[in-house]
Structure 1
Amino acid sequence: MSAKDPILDPLTLDFERPLARLEDIRKLIPQRDAIEQLTAVVYENLETNTVAGYRDVTDGEFWVSGHMPGLPLMPGVIMCEAAAQLASFFVQRNDLLGCEMVGFGGLDEVRFRGTVVPGDRLVIINQMIQVRRGRMIRARFQCFVGSGIVCEGQLIGVPIPVEALRASGLGGSTRLGGSTT
């Protein structure tokens, strides 16, 4: 996997007609407030298990003042989180894992190839390359600004045992797979 082998050409995506906006995304994944990393989802293809979305990066991001002072660069871990949230959205929307919530299981082969700053649109493209229902998913991901790749790698998603966490008292928040109101 490399920038020479794009999953999709980001310049071919239609950003004017999103498949899901923030309110739709919130129905399927639990991240809220400063950790929400998706603005919209603009493409999905179940035959190729491919999904694309984006994050409009603003001056109001929680990391702007500290990473780096005077030169705000989006942390690589946040790019990876955006890719994970997009994968989670796709998995939940299409019930690929058969679970209530998908968690981050790991990252492999991650490379950072460019910078993202406030004012940029970070385009994220994922392709599920392995789906084991009830067990895990593995997705290849690429992040772009314009036509330039800024991050790529693979991520692993795993089912979160929501009921077990609730029963143990660790899942006391209503946001843990429950209502967000």
Structure 2
Amino acid sequence: MSLLSAQQVMDIIPNRYPIFFIDKVEELTPGEHIVCYKNVTINEPFFQGHFPGEPVMPGVLIVEALAQAGSIPLLTLPDFEGQTAYLGGLNKVKFRQKVVPGDVLRLQVDIIKLKKFAGIGYGQAFVGDKKVCEVEMTFIIGR
């Protein structure tokens, strides 16, 4: 069951095709936690060049998907509603496995610190039960 659809997510974050990576939100606790999904299909524009004959989702786009996911718990807080969460920094990024067409990315982000106009989130991306990526992200909230 979906808590938020892709269209409802677009009401919260400014990203649009071809750089919109949230298909549905399954769990959401504003200011704290999110679990959402990205269906990886062969029709993604980045597969045309990454890599012909062996399509692999670029790691930087997995991190972008986690950043989009992590912005949602922040932007659903009343103080930040209608604003934008910018990615301010990345730490401890690790890639553990390729992501290919047909995979479903489960994106989980926990907000571990929240200040006046900034937050730190710990994100993990999974395909099935296998962790494919983890990252610590800093978000800056602004207009």
What TM-score results when the alignment is normalised by the length of structure 2?
0.94
> 1:159 corresponds to which letter in structure 2?
I
User: Which segments of structure 1 move beyond 3 Å, counting only runs of 4 or more?
Assistant: 95-99
In the alignment, the residues of structure 1 paired with residue 90 and residue 75 of structure 2 have an alpha-carbon distance, to the nearest angstrom, of 19
Preserved contact between residue 18 and residue 42 of structure 1 (Cα < 8 Å): yes
- Matched position secondary structure for 2:78: coil
- Matched position secondary structure for 2:111: strand
Bigger radius of gyration, 1 or 2? 1
Cα deviation for residue 96 of structure 1 reads: 5.7
Q: Report the aligned-residue RMSD.
A: 1.5
Q: Which runs of 5+ in 2 are unaligned?
A: none
Higher strand share: 2
Partner of 1:136: 118
In the alignment, the residues of structure 1 paired with residue 14 and residue 40 of structure 2 have an alpha-carbon distance, to the nearest angstrom, of 20
Cα deviation for residue 98 of structure 1 reads: 6.1
Q: Does 1:27 align with 2:14?
A: no
Q: Which runs of 5+ in 1 are unaligned?
A: 1-16, 163-181
Partner of 2:47: 64
- Matched position secondary structure for 1:33: coil
Partner of 2:56: 73
Q: 1:129 to 1:20 in 2, by over 3 A?
A: same
Cα deviation for residue 125 of structure 1 reads: 0.2
Partner of 1:152: 134
> 1:41 corresponds to which letter in structure 2?
V
Partner of 2:71: 88
Preserved contact between residue 30 and residue 76 of structure 2 (Cα < 8 Å): no
Preserved contact between residue 99 and residue 159 of structure 1 (Cα < 8 Å): no
Q: 1:96 to 1:156 in 2, by over 3 A?
A: farther
Cα deviation for residue 153 of structure 1 reads: 1.2
Residues 103-132 of structure 1: CA distance to partner in whole angstroms, max 9, x if unpaired? 111110000001111111001000000001
